[in-house]
Amino acid sequence: MNLFRAILEKPWKQQTASGLPAADDINLITPPQKIALLFFLAVVSVMFGLFITAYFIRMELDDWRPMPEPVMLWLNTFVLFLSSVVLQWTHNMLKKDMTKQFRVGLILGAILTLGFVYGQVTVWGQMQSEGYFLYNNPANAFFYVLTGIHAIHLLGGLFVWTKVIFKFWSGAEFEELRLSTELCALYWHFLLLVWLVLFALISYT
Amino acid sequence: MLVSLAVFIVAFTMGGLNYVTTVLQARTHGMTLMRMPLSIWGIFVATVLGLFAFPALFVSCVMMAFDKLIGTSFFMPAVLSLGETLDTAGGSPVLFQHLFWFFGHPEVYIVALPAFGLVSDVLSCHARKNIFGYRMMVWAIIIIGGLSFIVWAHHMYVSGMNPYFGFFFAFTTLIIAVPTAIKVYNWVLTLWEGNIRLTVPMLFAMGFIFTFIHGGLTGIFLGNVTVDLPLSDTYFVVAHFHMVMGVSPVLVLFASIYHWYPKMSGKMFNVTMGKIHFWATFLGTYAIYLPMHYLGFLGVPRRYYAMGNTDFIPDSAQALNANITQAAIFVGVVQIIFFINIFWSLKFGKKADPNPWEATTLEWQTPDNPPAHGNWGEKLPVVYRWAYEYSVPGAKDDFIPQSVAPEDVVMNEGAGPYVDRSEEH
């Protein structure tokens, strides 16, 4: 799917006798679900990009007081990294037709993801007990909002992952499962990347 | 309201992904991107704009909701409200404006691009002529879509942002007039030497060309910082944006509803009522918005319910305002004719021909009218050419549907075989 090439195409130059273009460009190699996900990732990137832009602009104003980073965020980062690895592994196991490992991966991935979200909520608790409330300072507010939005996206992913688990139980086709796990893994890698960017942003400012 | 907007954005994103994926991945055989009707191109690019612009509204909604509900200060500066100081301090309202208009300007084109596409199809069909410069039309839609993301601050010349920004945004704003003007030329050239049928949809489509040129020209005034500063927040602005993005897309909407009504309902609407509806709406609209330009030049500000003692505004402005109000009430009431026509025809209208306008696009070739579930039954149509094959020399009919194979085209005697030159545009 090369949009730029498509809009420069001159269909009449490559026509066959039947009137159809020689290269009928319905692209069946990329599944529609994947295109939809890629667009969605682009939309989410734009959203986080705008949050980060707003962060930088707001940071310039003189009431900004940087906030210390709880050490636990490193642990959470590691858990999220593991969940991303496990999802990829689960997908690979499915491709190799290793059902037992696949089943373990399905559950383990969900648990690790929940672990990360739980860890983030715990960090919120720690912050509040130390007096860093949402409304004290824009730096705190951004921390809560960014981590919250990121966690919501992860929970949305988990909802889809749960559907994959149910699909597996109800004996779905291999091809369908393969696509679902592939897309889930891709989504998790993306959210890991987003988290690393957010974490770096919070740590260095 | 902020929460419902956020929910709306999430919902739009889901729906938008559906549109984009359908256009990119679920076209029928032979329907290459460059054979799609311009309606679909307009809706497609507008959806892409929506997907990438709405996050800015979402971001500002979330942060604004926190400011309002929890007392954060993302945007809220120190505010003195009704004698009391609010808890907020230090926030940046200009930051909110940037985020809002980064969404807000593409939103203008989210409204306009589908209208551009729809009106192209209606004009071409009722002028019995291929759309002039199809490829250029597609490129213009894409270029307008791209540029719409870098013009947002022309809404903010008087917001107190860095004055040099205004310089840049005036530049991009005037550039976006180029692809837009190309589209207007192409619409007019489509009509040139066409076999124009003054049907109700055609009237509305041609009305659109008038109002759009009108609103577009005042846009060039306002795009310049020096002209915008004195006109900012006056009735001139109200007149401009109502002409260009209020009235114009609405006229296209009416054109499209009348155009596709026989397909959607299987019934024909009442033509006389449609024509009354058009002339009353079109002329009435001018009666509302044309005088507003003069009010704007006088310096009458918008959003004020009473002017108080303002020496620079003559009393005659009040007479003009009263007149505008009468015209607005008139246009509003006239819309009842439209609704009566739509609902009355649905029940008592004449049965419509499956393709009453003799159009080429796929929806007019369905086996049932209105189309049954799935539109096509067992077999999907195959597309052999673009959507604008009207008045082909030598062909028996003056239109050749997209789904008719070249060997099935009926020619006049002695005209020789049909040569498909349709896409050499």
| B35-69 tens-digit pLDDT | 999 999 999 999 999 999 999 999 999 999 998 88
Question: Which residues are within 8 A (CB) of A86 and not within 5 positions of it... i.e. 6 or more apart?
Answer: A105, A108, A109, A112
Chain B residues within 8 A of A65 when measuring between CB atoms: none
Question: Which of A43, A48, A132 is most worth mutating to test chain B (most B CB atoms within 10 A of its CB)?
Answer: A43
Q: What residues in B contact A39, CB-CB < 8 Å?
A: 17, 20-21, 51
Confidence tier at B29 by pLDDT (50, 70, 90): confident
Q: What is the pLDDT of residues B232-281, one digit of tens each?
A: 999 999 999 999 999 999 999 999 999 999 999 999 999 999 999 999 99
Contact indicator for B281, B225 with CB cutoff of 8 Å: no
Predicted local confidence at residue B424, as pLDDT: 65
Of B72, B142, B384, the CB nearest to A20: B384
Interface of B with A in 106-165 (CB under 8 A): 135, 138-139, 142
Binary contact (A6, B33; C-beta < 8 A): yes
Residue B18 has pLDDT above 60, yes or no: yes
A134 touches chain B (CB under 8 A): yes
Beta bridge partners, B56, equal none
Q: Return the residue matching tokens 């960017």.
A: A197
- What integer pLDDT is reported at residue B28 of this predicted model? 87
Q: Does A115 touch chain B (CB under 8 A)?
A: no
Q: Which residue has the higher pLDDT, B246 or B420?
A: B246
A27: chain B residues, CB-CB within 8 Å: 24-25
Find the closest chain B residue to A17 by CA distance. Answer: B406
CA distance B52 to chain A (A): 6
Give residue A157's pLDDT: 95
Contact: B35, A11; criterion CB under 8 Å: yes
ipTM tops 0.90: no
Residue of chain A whose Cα is closest to the Cα of B71: A135
A95-133 pLDDT per residue, tens: 888 888 888 998 999 999 999 999 999 999 999 998 888
pTM of this prediction? 0.92
If one compares B152 and A15, the residue with the highest pLDDT of the two is: B152
Banded pLDDT at B295 (limits 50, 70, 90): very high
Q: Distance between CA atoms of B203 and B208, rounded to whole angstroms?
A: 9
Does position B126 have pLDDT exceeding 60, yes or no? yes
The pLDDT value given to residue A32? 87
Inter-chain CB pairs, A–B, below 8 Å: 134
**pLDDT for A17 beyond 70:** no
- In this prediction, residue B296 carries a pLDDT of 94
How does the average pLDDT of chain B come out, rounded? Answer: 92
Residues B141-170, mean pLDDT to the nearest whole number: 92
Q: How confident is the model at residue B414 (pLDDT cuts 50, 70, 90)?
A: confident
CA dist., res. B294 & res. B37, Å (int): 40
Cβ distance B63 to A145 less than 8 Å, yes or no, reads yes
User: B45 near B23, Cβ under 8 Å?
Assistant: no
pLDDT for res A40: 96
Return the number of other C-beta atoms located less than 10 Å from residue A65's C-beta: 10
Percent with pLDDT over 70 in chain B: 99
Distance CA A96, CA B85 (A): 66
3 state SS of A132:
coil
Chain A residues closer than 8 Å to B95 by CB? 54, 57-58
pLDDT in tens, A158-196: 999 999 999 888 887 888 889 999 999 999 999 999 999
C-beta atoms of A36 and B56 within 8 A: no
Task: Check A19 against B30: CB less than 8 A apart.
Answer: yes
pLDDT tier at B421 (50, 70, 90 boundaries)? low
Residue B182, pLDDT score:
96
Of the given ranges (A67-71, A104-108, A199-203, B40-44), which has the lowest mean pLDDT? A67-71
The whole-angstrom distance between A100's CA and the closest CA on chain B is 34
Contacting B residues, span 378-417, partner chain A, CB-CB under 8 Å: 382, 384-385, 405-406
What pLDDT is recorded for position A92?
A: 92
